[in-house]
Amino acid sequence: MSPGTSHAPADPGPAHGFIFIVSGPGGVGKGTIVNALVQRDQRLWLSRSWTTRAQRHGESDGAYVFTDRASFESRIAAGGFLEWTDFLGNYYGTPTPDPVAGRDVVLEIEVNGAMHVKKLHPEAVLIFVLPPSRDEQQRRLRGRGDPEDRVAERLQKALDEEPVGLQLANHVVVNDDLERTVGEMMQIIGHHRMLD
């Protein structure tokens, strides 16, 4: 199966507000940022992805729906993903959203998925996050406890993703300081809501 959207018609599900995509290379702090955003803004609804990756030591049970390949593939066949991809040998996918009316969807996904969502929903707002430096990015990637060969793969993948993401992005934010970055992203979100 090749990554993309499910085989069902490209239906985002029930009427939704804005779609804010937070993407960026590995080790940039996307997860921490989106958690801070949804804590601060009750109108944001964070989509929980499915993955076939093993749960990391210390990773919360709610970080993903952790599943096996067969279940993931059944969901693809049933048209249950807005987008999905194969990232370094594991599946990751966004279930077709079912947000509460009046809320804006936040997707924290890699670049390939961001591209698929932008194709389906050109109005989706893509905020691409960059690391403050390569050193800091490497430090974060190493700090997750993955074996060294996985870290090297992820570093290379991060370098490959960056130029593609920069081309697609509506906004680019450098995550040099969490508080400042989240503030900047809240401003971007507020700006789009005002234009509506």
Q: Give the footprint of ligand 5GP on this chain (CB under 6 A).
A: 26, 30, 49, 53, 83, 85, 87, 92-94, 108-110, 112-113
Q: Which residue number, 92 or 128, has a Cβ lying nearer to ligand 5GP?
A: 92
Q: Which residue number, 104 or 108, has a Cβ lying nearer to ligand 5GP?
A: 108
* Least distance between ligand 5GP and beta carbon 25 (Å): 7
Cα 62 to Cα 155: distance, rounded to the nearest angstrom: 25
Q: Hey, what amino acid is at 24? A: G
| DSSP symbols for 144-162 | T---HHHHHHHHHHHHHHH
* Least distance between ligand 5GP and beta carbon 109 (Å): 4
Q: In what order do the strands lie in the sheet with 104-108?
A: 44-46, 104-108, 19-23, 125-130, 171-174
Q: Which residue number, 53 or 192, has a Cβ lying nearer to ligand 5GP?
A: 53
185 closest CA partner among 29, 53, 80, 56: 29
Q: Which residue number, 56 or 191, has a Cβ lying nearer to ligand 5GP?
A: 56
* Least distance between ligand 5GP and beta carbon 137 (Å): 12
Q: In 80-91, which positions are buried (b, 16+ CB within 10 angstroms) versus exposed (e)?
A: bbbbbbebeeeb
* Least distance between ligand 5GP and beta carbon 194 (Å): 27
